[in-house]
Amino acid sequence: MNIKLLSYSGKRYKINKNGNFYNEWVTTGTLKTDTSFLHPIIEIQKTTPPMENSYNYMYIPQFKRYYFINDIIVKENGLWELHADVDVLFSNYKDIYESKAILSKSQEISNANLYINDGSFVMDSHKYDQIVPFPSGLSADGYNILICAGGSGNGV
């Protein structure tokens, strides 16, 4: 199977990792028997460029998945053994970006959704009551505006 080896310099939990790859090298490898699709072990031939070139990421077109290379074992028979874990975020980043969702939680307060009232976001935690007596009499020009909001509930 074809394998694209890459060096990745960005954050692990970033969804779109484009722009953070360098040292691309395409080679062939063999999937080790009794290995996992999500955590594959792949053997590749020791050829140039050597694995010491900081390859820490790979793409397997046959699986349509990106993987973090966690360990590289040098084998006696001229092989490198790559142990990897699937990168779920980048393998599915197009689907993630195209999905429609309402986020109920956000790290940044400026992105908080104030219309979802789950009790975790408090706009104002101070109770403010003020009772102002209505002045006696009405305005001489015939215009009066009275605005009431809330109330004390004690009939005053």
Percent of the chain with pLDDT over 70: 65
Tens digits of pLDDT across the chain (156 residues): 999 999 999 899 989 899 899 888 899 999 988 888 899 999 998 775 666 667 899 999 999 999 999 998 888 888 889 999 999 999 999 998 898 876 666 666 666 666 776 666 666 666 767 777 666 666 677 676 766 666 555 554
Specify the CATH number for the domain of residue 23. 2.40.10
Residues paired with residue 7 on neighbouring β-strands, in sequence order: 22
Q: Does residue 115 belong to any structural domain of this protein?
A: no
Residue 10 lies in a domain: yes
17 near 29, Cβ under 8 Å? no
Number of domains forming the structure of the chain: 1
Domain-located, residue 65? yes
Range of the domain at 57: 2-96
Cα 73 from Cα 100, distance rounded (Å): 42
Is 64 a domain residue? yes
Q: Is residue 63 part of a domain?
A: yes
In a domain, 143, yes or no: no
Residue type (1 letter), 119: G
